[in-house]
Structure formats: C-alpha cells, structure tokens
Structure 1
Amino acid sequence: MNATFPGDTGAAGLDALCIDTLRFLSVDMVQNANSGHPGLPLGAAPMAYVLWTHFLKHHPANPQWFDRDRFVLSAGHGSALLYSLLHLTGYALPLEQLKQFRKWGSIAPGHPERGLTPGVEVTTGPLGQGFANGVGMAIAEASLAARYNRDGFAIVDHFTYGIVSDGDLMEGVAAEAASLAGHLQLGKLIYLYDDNGVTLSAGTGMAFSEDVAARFKAYGWHTQVVEDGNDTHTIESALHAARAQTARPSLILVRTHLGYGSPGKQDTFEAHGSPLGEEEVRLTKRNLGWPEAPAFHIPEPARAHFAAANEKGARAEAQWDEALCAYKAKFPELARELAARMQAGAAAGASGWEAAVPEFAADAKGMATRVASGKIMNAIAAHQPALIGGSADLDPSTFTMLKGCGDFEPANLSAHDRQGSSGGGWSRAGRNLHFGVREHAMGALMNGMAAHGGVVPFGATFLIFSDYMRPSIRLAALMGLHVVYLFTHDSIALGEDGPTHQPVEQLASLRAIPGLTVIRPADANETAVAWRVALETGDRPVALVLSRQDLPTLDRALFQPADGLRRGAYVLADAPGGSPDLILVASGAEVSLAVAARERLARDGIHARVVSMPSWELFDAQPPEYRDTVFPPALGARLAVEAGVSQGWHRYLGDGGGVLAVDRFGASAPGPVMLQEYGFTVDNVCARAARLLRR
C-alpha cells in the first residue's frame, strides 16, 4: 500500500497517507538516532493505524481516563511506531522528542517506559512481558466491571489491545499467560500478531515452526488470519469479529513484511534491529512514493486526520462522565468506593482496614509468619475491596485464600474443577485468582493488573520460586507498580524437600533490585505491620518473606513495639543503660534466635543489643541520625544472623563484624535438624559473638 499525497482526497488515499506517515516518522527516528528497530514499524503500521483510528477508545488530552481502552506494544523494540502514534494523535509527546529518540534525557526511550512517556501503559522490551501484562489488564477490567456495573450502567467497559511479535510468542511467559487467558475466557482481550517470519538473527523457520493458530485455538482463543498485512479492510473486519467474541480472547495473525518497502532489506533480519542506513532510507521513501526530504515530514491531511482522536476522545469521556453522574445518583455507595479506587489509589482509598489489622498475644510457641499473614489478609479483606490475587497453586501452603470472597473464574467450570474453592462462589467479581503453576505469568499478570488501576494484586509462591518470576518483579520495580508478593518457606528450615526447595541466595537477589521493598518479619505482630506497610506503599512493589515454621510471638511488654518495622531496623532489646558490648542483628525467623542468645550471653556477663532488621530498604531510607542510633559507629562488634547467603550484610557490620549465614546449598532433613547442622543454635551464636569480642 503506497502513500498518495494531497490531491487524492479519497478515504483509501488518506488511509495510505496516514500509514506511510507512521512508517516514515518511525524510520526517521531510528535513522536520526542511528539506533533502533525500523522493521516492525514499516510492516505493522497498517494494523496499528486501523486499531488506533477505528477502534481504540482513548483521550490523548487525558491519558489517565479510567475507562479508556488499554493498548500494549508487547514488541517494545518497535517503540518508534508507538511514539509516532502518540505524537500524531495528540499526546504530550512533541516532535522535538521524536527527534531525540533514544538520546539522553528524552521521553522517547529505546523501549517504552510507563511513567516517562504519556500514553505508555506498561514498560515493555523483554519479550513476552507485555503479552502477559495485557492479560492482567483484562482481568482487572473484568473484575471491576463485575463488581460495579449494573443494568444500564456499564461504568467499566473497555478492551485491552496489543501488538505482539514472533519473539513474544516464543517466550514461555506468554505461553503461560495465554493458557490462563483462554481458561478465564477473557473476551475483551484482543491481540494483533505481527506475523512477519523474521527475528533479530534469522528467519523464524530456524527455531519456530509451530502452527500458532492451532496452539492458540487449543488454549481456548478465537483466531483469525489476515493474509495481507496491508489490507486494512480485512484487518478492520477481523477486529470487528474479535470484539464480538465475548467468551474468548482473540489472536489475529496478520501476515506482514518486516521492513516493508525497503528494496534491499525487506523480509531480512537486517531490517529488524539496525537502522536502514541513509541510502536505504532514501530508496525506501522513493519506493513508497514518500518525499526523500525533509526528515520527520508530516503531511497536513495526515496530521489533521490523526488529530481527530482528541475530539473523539473528549466526546467519549464526556459521555462516560454523564453516565457516571447518573450512576452516582442511583448507586452512591458503589460510586464512592469506585471513585476511591480510581483516584486515591486502590488501597489508600479504602477505609476501616487499619482497625481490622489484628494484634497477636505473646506466645512462646507462636505461629509461622505465613499463617499470621493469612489471618491478617482475611481480617482486612472486607475493608480492602481492591485486594485481589492468589498463588501459583499453593494456597494451602501460603495461606493466601481470601475466605468467602469468591473465585475469579469462568462461569462454566464443572463441580470437579471447583474443588478446593474459596467457598464464596464463582464469578468475575471473585477475588481469589487461581494462577495455576505459572509463577512467571503470575508476576507479569500482577503487573498488568496494577498498571490498569483500581486493584491491588497479590501473588504467592515459595521464596525459591521467586526466581521463576524475577523478570516480572524487576519490571514491577522499574515501573513503580503497587503489587504485593508473598514468598513463604523462606529458608533451609523448610526441611525435607531439600536443596531444590530451600532458598539460599534469593533474599540477596531480591534485595539487589532497585525499587523493591523486601520485608522479612520476625513474628506475627511484625507481619501485621509489614502488611500495613505493603498496603500503604503505593509507588513500588513490596515482597513479604515468610516462614514455614512456627516462630515465637514476642512479648511486646518486654520488647520494643513491632511498629519499629516501619523504619526497617530497630532496637528490639538493649543492654542495661543502652551500652552494649556487641550487637546481634537478625531478620525474620532468626530474630528469636538472637533474643535467646542475648539471654545466654547475659548470664556470662556479656551485654548484647538485639536489632530486628526486617527490611534493608526501609532502613536505608531513614536519616543518618536514626541509623546511627541503631548501629552506633563506635561499636564495631556486630554479628548478623540470617539463614541466607551473607552477601550484602557487611555494609551494616563494618570491619569488626561477622555473619552467621548459609553460603552453600541446603540438604534434605527435618527443619530443626537443618538449623542445628548449619549452626543456627544458641550455642553457636554465643560462640561466634564471643570470638568477635576477643578480636
């Protein structure tokens, strides 16, 4: 489809002009930066044009309008196409920023970044992530619609669209998410697959020869094939048919040509990840009838046509505002709740939940912090309607089932399939999500749900399996999304399952992620405060790391209040007069061990301070004056006790400190035996402390 210029005023001519405007804005961006991916924009511009001008409900002047359709460019390497769409339709992305594509300080970075570029819904680039994010967005839309919509009032009613690539569909996270999306019958999820047969290094036939349509049909998706990616009429018809599929997500396989129009590089991997080159740009423009100069040319008819998106979006938002006013009059309580979830932050807008957080009585036997967490979640669930989530098929072990809150599931499950449900019924309004054994998809879906807004997603698995979802955790931190991770079975103390299930390096690995708050509470009451922090922290993900084994519930009449967790580390118990001989610092399960060692040391005339340090990130955010009160600079005798690798602890211990840690893999044995054999005993802590003092 070649562009025609002013003089051809027909609809087909205008469509062609607009499509080539998208193509060459993108090509010029990449060439000007001398870096980027021109192939996808050249091939996929027609499908993007049809979607954005004929279907996408959005308002460029208000990118955060809640009932907008969501669009995800999962193939984030084609970001130049997205920036062209955003600029032309009127988002706050001026042409000057397109000219700064991939340059320092630009809001048009190499891959799309949420929170940086207006109109970008999620940060994409690692392939498959955006695909799974879109599934999470569709889940959030369906959940909110089920809770708030009433007959005649479709207050939450929008689609999730995306453009996905060959590489996206090769990634395992996309397969996990696609399987769940089909099972959940997410009919308002529609993806256009840029089926160009070329990857960065070769043709897809070198590694990818499956029948994609058959695979997705087996997942429960509606599939269609558009044989010519330049056939805008057939693309439009396919999108109409996909929108009519209310009980199945849709994948439209659009056969395109990577680097379309490039005489020397079309359909070759050379068009994928490198600029065309100045000469090839000229030849491509000449081939498609586009002016060779100037660069960044935008014909006025194309500019005017794209600009209509703002007026159209304003009308759509105004109609929605009018409907919302009528809804408020008829359903005031629901309207207030929805407004809080839309505007103030899904968790911050709730009321009454703080008073519902339980306090736990002192108990030498105590309980596992995973059990305490389950009690806390169920106590606050009624007051936090935005809280929705589940586990990777581990609810009986992670204690994350919200009792009586129903299951988010399709309506046609059999009685056999519904075994083990929450007991609250099955509907889109259910708040227990069954992710299945799909940790990576769980993490990416949670990101999509949080990015959609109106929900606070949580997801649970064993700490060892956080490795399976690490890319999604990293992206949650990069985007500053409000998601809550519940990682249980947090050390070698989980016992007989052995080293494959015993986390050793995972705590250090999670702490290494910028923007992620990791909290490992010491007992039930610290767990309660940790949940408060998790719900109050709206600008970043929070990981709660919880024990399998029972931990004593400390008597707070003898120790400092658990609210000290908010500061990351606090003096739990001090030496007489506040003048300790050494500091014992621990996190989570090992805090009670440090307390017991302190008592033994006192009998030997050694006065120890015990510091509970559940969160390095929260502690590092405190002012230096506070940090010095916890770890006085002059007191160098410091022993850290934690059942994980020692990496990172020395930053808090100085030259005179030591670490009792686990710098090797675990073994298969009962938890108490594991702790004994690895030195997590009162005798060994005291011996290590005494050696520090003799230095």
Structure 2
Amino acid sequence: MPFTPSPTDEKAIATIRTLAADIVAKSNSGHPGMPMGMAPIAHLLFSRFYTGSGKDAKWINRDRFVLSNGHGCALQYIMLHLLGYNLSMDDLKSFRQLDSKCPGHPETNHGVDGIEVTTGPLGQGFSNSVGLAIAQANAAATFNKDGFELFNNKTYTFLGDGCLQEGVASEAASLAGHLKLGNLICIYDDNHISIDGDTACSFTEDVEQRFLAYDWHVLAVNDGDKDLAGMYAAIEEAHKVTDKPTLIRLKTTIGFGSKIQGGAGTHGAPLKADDIVQLKEKFGFNPEEKFVVPDEVYAAYKEIQQKGADAASKWHKQFDEFKSKFSAEHKELSRRIAGELPQGWESALPTYSPSDSAVASRKLSETVLAKLAVAIPELLGGSADLTGSNLTRWGDAVDFQHPSTRLGDYSGRYIRYGVREHAMGAIMNGLNAYGLFIPTAGTFLNFVSYAIGAVRLSALSKHQVIWVATHDSIGLGEDGPTHQPVETASALRAIPNLDFWRPADGNETSAAYKVAIEARHNPSVLALTRQNLPQLEGSSIEKAAKGGYVLKEVENADITLAATGSEVAICVDAAKELEKQGLKARIVSLPCMSVFDKQPIDYRLSVLPSGHPILGVEAYGKHGWAQYCHVFHGMKGFGASAPAPALYKKFLLEPQPIAEKASKVVAHYKKSNVAAVSPIELEAAFSGEA
C-alpha cells in the first residue's frame, strides 16, 4: 500500500517538536534534540503502523514499542499522551519532577501504561526488544490455530548511536539474527551525535554492514527529517520480511528546527528561550503559548486511538470464538494473561529427608526444573552456553529455534543464548515484560557479574526472572579465582527488590524455586553448588521459604552458627566439635537474607536472638553480614586453583577451624561480660520496628 499523506501530518510533527522543547525547558533538564529529530518517524509509526490502544493498554496482542535511546523519553511521553494513554498534559508539565509520571528515563511499572520496559542504560532497551520478539514468536507458535491468529504483533524499537556502541546490543543483535526474528523492526536514529560531540571522534564503523553480518534485513532512509514516503516504504518493506529482524538506518538531524540543529548542544540541555521562540514561529505556532496541541492534531490522533481500540475489540471477539473450538487452550491462555499460576503447581516440588544421598544443589535444581517445566508451561528456560554445567535443560525440552535450522522450533521452551550473559539478562527482562512468561536461565554465578546492568533493571522494573547461577563459590575448585565469585553475592544482595538464594540442601532448593515462582514482581538469583551437599536434618520447604530458620535448636546456647549454602553442613559438624568442648551451638540457615528481612520482627529475633554471640559463616566476603552476626568467618580475598576440599582447608572453612573461632568468640563475650545484643534487635530499634 503506497504512502498517503494526511493534511495533519506536518502539523502533528511540528506539535511533537514544539512540545518536546517546552517539556524540557520547563523542567530545565532533559534531552530535546532526539525527540525533535525523531518526531517525523514517531508520528509516522504511530499513525500508520502501530496497533495498540490506551483504552485497552494491557491487550496482549498489542504492538510493543521500546525507546532504547531512553534519554529522549519526552518523545515517548508525548506520543502516549496523543494516543490516549494515561498521561495528561499536566503530567507532561511535571517532567523530571518529584513523583512525576514522566521520570527522566522511561520506567515500566511506574504507573504509566505503554511503557513496556525500563530504558536508560544504553543498549538495554534494544536487547529487551529481542526478548519481546522471542515471546511473541513463542506465543504464536504455541497458541495460534488455523483461522485464529491470536498473536501477530510486532516489536518496534528506536535506538541511537550510544545503544549500538554498548556491548549488550551486539550480543542481542547477534542472537536475534540467528533466531531469524522477523517480528522485530528497529529504527536507528543516525544523527551522528553523542554527549562527546560528533561520533566521528569514536564511532565510525559501517553499521549497515555490521547488521548484515548478523543476518539482519537492513534498510536505509537518508532523509529522516522530511521524507515521510521513504520512511513509510521502509517500514512497509520490513513488514514483508518474516525470516529476519530489520534495522532501518534513518538519517536525522538532531534538534531539527533549532538554531543549533545538528550539533551536540541540543542533545542534553534545554533550548534557550529565544531559540524556542524562533522554533515556534518557524512551525506556525504562537511563541507566547506553551504546551500547545492544535485541535486538528488531537482530532487526528483520536481517530488513531479509535483504530487501536477497534483492533483490540476485534481480537477479543476472536478470542471468544476461539474458546468454543479450543477450550483447553483458551483456558490456559486466559490463566497466563491473568498472571495466575497453575493450580496445585507446588505439589511438583520435591522433598528430601536426611537419609537421602548427598547431591550438588545444581543437580537438585535440575530435578526441580524438570518437574516445574511440566507443572508451569509458562517457564521459558535457557542457558548461556553452559547447559551441561548448569543443568538447566529438562529431559524432553525443545529448543527455541527457527524451524529452518532443524534444531527446534518457535514453540520450544529452551533458549540457547550462547556466550552472551548480558544480553541473556536483558532478553529475559523483555520475555517477562511481554506478559505470558517466567524466564529462567543459567550461567556460573561469577558471570552474573557480566550481566549486572540487566539484573539491576530486572529489580528496578519488577520483572520476574530467575537466574540459575551455579558453581557458586570456591567449591567449584580447579577453575580458580577467575571463576570463584567471592564478592558477587554482596553485589547482588545490595540490589533492592532482588532475592539472592543460596540453598543448603534439597528442601532449601525447592523452597528457593517456590518463592521465586511466587515472587511475581522481583527477580531471583539461585546460587548453586558444584559439590555434593548432604540432606540436612531439620530442613523443610516451609521453613526455608521464610529465608532463614533454626536448623538446630538447643537450650541455653553459648553461640549461634549462622550460614548459607554449602557451609551450613560444615557448621553442623563444627557444632559437634564445640559439643566436645562443652559448648552448645545453635545452627541457623539463611538461604535468602532479603526474604528473611521481610519476616515479622518476632520471628527474626527467634531465629537470631540476643543473649549470646552469633558467628556468620560463608565462603564469600563479609559484606552484608553485619546485620545478622557479631563476628564473621569467611573469605578475605580471592580464591585459588585446586580441588574443592583443598580450598576449604586452605581458607579455614572446615569444622575444626570454625569451632576454634566460635570458642574464641564465646570466650571473648564471657570475659568482657558484654551482653550480646542481636543485630536484628538493634536494627529494629532504630528502624521503628521494635
């Protein structure tokens, strides 16, 4: 279908440009240049191609739009306002202000519909869009039937030079090309400007050739300022290519209309007042008026809103008809759209007794995943090339692959991410943001550090993603300190709204998955061992699901030994050593500190009470332990390369040295006659919980 101009096109584009200038000027902070430069493509995309509705903002088959160059978020806020989403003109006027619905970069789950993912750190949004595209492809392959194309939405992404320079985008683009994601259309704002100035100073590669090498479909439009017909034709052509993602290189002028258009001065600072005056005069607006949307522009966008609402209504009618022919699929899809878990799924979680054999927690995780994959169809698994080590793939799993590869198909639920941890994290965010999936994926715990940017955004965005992070400590042994994550737990535990689990046995591993599956609004990292762990007497799913519990209670205890993961069993043996000295030791397991922190104060004090000292034990550094123990016993530096038993001996993480330190701690407190007040009680006293 050829491009047909509308009488309101030019006025709508000018409106977007002047609004962007006003929004940034009022806040005295922001980036007006990109919104002004990309106004034509934004108007064209949303008026001619994008299918969605502010009246039915969560409609599952809506097109997804991602603004990867999120510093230009004034553009997205303007478009959402025009499209009838829940952003008023007053909201636009409060851009970047306290408690505004228009923060300085787009944030999902922030009270504004139409923001699919949180962007800002460059390259993340582009990588999220790959996850959104995978989700659509899987949903279509799973639920579409003859005569019922329930899932056919596209994912559109705007990105800039900065996004393309970030490594995460390269990882994601490479995988997207391999997977032949024809439902992904990315528009590259080629304005040659970054914060440092002209990209000639640092970014001169041939982007088109790079993406051709990734096996993308690549198009170019050399006049993104005015050539609406050319932009329209490019998107039309992108729609026709179904076996490759598309990159459209769009040459634009940053800050178009400004006196300093084309320069870095429009990138990250408001336009000067006289510049805004001439800008409005140039486009036929009254320079004395601010935040103006002409009636004819509102009217044109009202028609666009209605097209989206009609499309959503037609889909819901089709979905009702789908029910009569495919009742089981309709019920399953309805449940997943509602975000409800399958009834009785918890019964799939395995339980263990002390008589069961010792097993590595990565192997215990494999057992859980195999059962949950059957019980919870929305689980999408995967691994960053370490499938045989992470044990993340269940027995009859089908790989998510383009059918032409004969390696799997788009209905497959296991994603081969390759050695791309950072993209894997960002893609999982996109998978969860789509609305039908709980993604899991594996790597070594040490390499979650590679993806920390995406992990942080999972937590900030409230995305439910589950990291299967194996080889969790010095216990991985011979690979040495390059692979031994002695500091990674501290970094992950410091991220708000993230649960870091380090289970000590089979019941605790099941508990970690239980809570992670039920935690619909936060990510989880499960740190799992390579070495075998005994099944502990006193553990249970119910107890471990509280994040911390008393594994072994004794009356009139001299000390509490608190530990996580592989060190819990060592502390059990250390308590036996202490008993030989006439000292009584309680044992506490803390598989997830953040979940434990959410428990009532009375419960936490029952686990870690005042009255005697608490010794924390973990094969990590001490950071974060001060809020749970009086003294810590663990790593003081990096690990080493040797078999695991030799390393535990070298770093004094064996029963005898732990018992020796515990006895010294007891002696110190008795000699000083100082009451051992629990850190839990101290924290509660100053936080107002007590």
Give the TM-score taking structure 1 as reference length.
Answer: 0.94
Counterpart check, 1:599 vs 2:593: no
Q: Which amino acid aligns with 1:473?
A: V
What SS does the aligned partner of 2:200 have?
A: helix
Structure 2 distance, partners of 1:694, 1:467, is: 40
* Aligned match of 1:565: 544
Q: CA deviation at 1:562?
A: 3.8
Q: CA deviation at 1:165?
A: 0.6
Equivalent pair of 2:551/2:587 in contact (CA under 8 Å): yes
* Aligned match of 2:565: 588
* Aligned match of 2:273: 278
* Aligned match of 2:524: 542
What SS does the aligned partner of 1:430 have?
A: coil
What SS does the aligned partner of 1:162 have?
A: strand
Counterpart check, 1:41 vs 2:20: no
Structure 2 distance, partners of 1:598, 1:394, is: 37
What SS does the aligned partner of 1:139 have?
A: helix
What SS does the aligned partner of 1:412 have?
A: helix
* Aligned match of 1:92: 86
What SS does the aligned partner of 1:672 have?
A: helix
What SS does the aligned partner of 1:553 have?
A: coil
Equivalent pair of 2:351/2:541 in contact (CA under 8 Å): no
Q: CA deviation at 1:362?
A: 2.5
Residues 236-280 of structure 1: per-residue CA shift (max 9 Å, x gap): 1111100111000001111000111112x1111111001111121
Equivalent pair of 2:180/2:245 in contact (CA under 8 Å): yes
Q: Which amino acid aligns with 2:489?
A: L
Counterpart check, 1:24 vs 2:14: no
Equivalent of residue 641 in structure 2, options 637, 643, 668: 668
* Aligned match of 2:375: 383
* Aligned match of 2:683: none
* Aligned match of 1:138: 133
Counterpart check, 1:447 vs 2:429: yes
Q: CA deviation at 1:11?
A: 4.5
After TM superposition, the structure 1 = structure 2 runs for residues 286-685 of structure 1, keeping only pairs within 5 Å, are 286-343=281-338, 345=339, 348-363=340-355, 365-413=357-405, 418=407, 426-555=408-537, 559-575=538-554, 578-635=555-612, 637-653=613-629, 657-685=630-658
Equivalent pair of 1:457/1:483 in contact (CA under 8 Å): yes
Structure 1 distance, partners of 2:304, 2:369, is: 43
* Aligned match of 2:688: none
Equivalent pair of 2:563/2:589 in contact (CA under 8 Å): yes
* Aligned match of 1:109: 103
Equivalent of residue 157 in structure 1, options 136, 152, 155: 152
Equivalent pair of 1:351/1:383 in contact (CA under 8 Å): no
After TM superposition, the structure 1 = structure 2 runs for residues 118-137 of structure 1, keeping only pairs within 5 Å, are 118-137=113-132
Q: Structure 1: 5+ residue runs without aligned partners?
A: 1-9, 419-425
Q: Which amino acid aligns with 2:67?
A: L
* Aligned match of 2:54: 60
Equivalent pair of 2:499/2:592 in contact (CA under 8 Å): yes
Residues 462-516 of structure 1: per-residue CA shift (max 9 Å, x gap): 0110110000000000010111111110101111111100111000110000000
Structure 1 distance, partners of 2:192, 2:441, is: 35
Q: Structure 2: 5+ residue runs without aligned partners?
A: 669-690
Equivalent pair of 1:60/1:309 in contact (CA under 8 Å): no
Root mean square deviation of aligned Cα? 1.2
Equivalent of residue 239 in structure 2, options 217, 238, 243: 243
What SS does the aligned partner of 2:187 have?
A: strand
* Aligned match of 1:6: none
* Aligned match of 2:74: 80
Report the more deviating stretch, 429-438 or 601-610. 601-610
Structure 1 distance, partners of 2:592, 2:41, is: 47
Structure 2 distance, partners of 1:267, 1:290, is: 22
Equivalent pair of 2:514/2:545 in contact (CA under 8 Å): no
Q: Which amino acid aligns with 2:546?
A: R
Structure 1 distance, partners of 2:504, 2:539, is: 13
Q: CA deviation at 1:633?
A: 2.2
Structure 2 distance, partners of 1:164, 1:296, is: 26
Equivalent pair of 2:365/2:509 in contact (CA under 8 Å): yes
Q: Which amino acid aligns with 2:271?
A: L
Equivalent pair of 1:580/1:608 in contact (CA under 8 Å): yes
Equivalent pair of 1:402/1:431 in contact (CA under 8 Å): no
What SS does the aligned partner of 2:193 have?
A: coil
Residues 52-94 of structure 1: per-residue CA shift (max 9 Å, x gap): 0100010111211111000000010000010100111111100
What SS does the aligned partner of 1:408 have?
A: coil
Q: Which amino acid aligns with 1:243?
A: H
What SS does the aligned partner of 2:616 have?
A: strand
Q: Which amino acid aligns with 1:459?
A: A
What SS does the aligned partner of 1:61 have?
A: helix
Structure 2 distance, partners of 1:128, 1:688, is: 48
Structure 1 distance, partners of 2:603, 2:354, is: 28
Q: Which amino acid aligns with 2:484?
A: Q
Equivalent pair of 1:33/1:100 in contact (CA under 8 Å): yes
Counterpart check, 1:689 vs 2:656: no
Equivalent pair of 2:53/2:83 in contact (CA under 8 Å): no
Change (3 A) 1:11 1:409: closer
Structure 2 distance, partners of 1:560, 1:394, is: 30
Equivalent pair of 1:364/1:554 in contact (CA under 8 Å): no
Residues 3-22 of structure 1: per-residue CA shift (max 9 Å, x gap): xxxxxxx9454100001111
Q: Which amino acid aligns with 1:678?
A: F
What SS does the aligned partner of 2:65 have?
A: strand
What SS does the aligned partner of 1:267 have?
A: coil
After TM superposition, the structure 1 = structure 2 runs for residues 251-262 of structure 1, keeping only pairs within 5 Å, are 251-262=247-258
Equivalent pair of 1:127/1:167 in contact (CA under 8 Å): yes
Structure 2 distance, partners of 1:385, 1:684, is: 47
Structure 1 distance, partners of 2:460, 2:270, is: 27
What SS does the aligned partner of 2:441 have?
A: strand
Equivalent pair of 1:262/1:287 in contact (CA under 8 Å): no
Q: CA deviation at 1:360?
A: 2.6
Equivalent pair of 2:507/2:539 in contact (CA under 8 Å): no
What SS does the aligned partner of 1:427 have?
A: coil
Q: Which amino acid aligns with 2:627?
A: R
Seq. identity, %: 42
Equivalent pair of 1:363/1:552 in contact (CA under 8 Å): no
Residues 161-183 of structure 1: per-residue CA shift (max 9 Å, x gap): 01111111111000100000000
Report the more deviating stretch, 242-251 or 115-124. 115-124
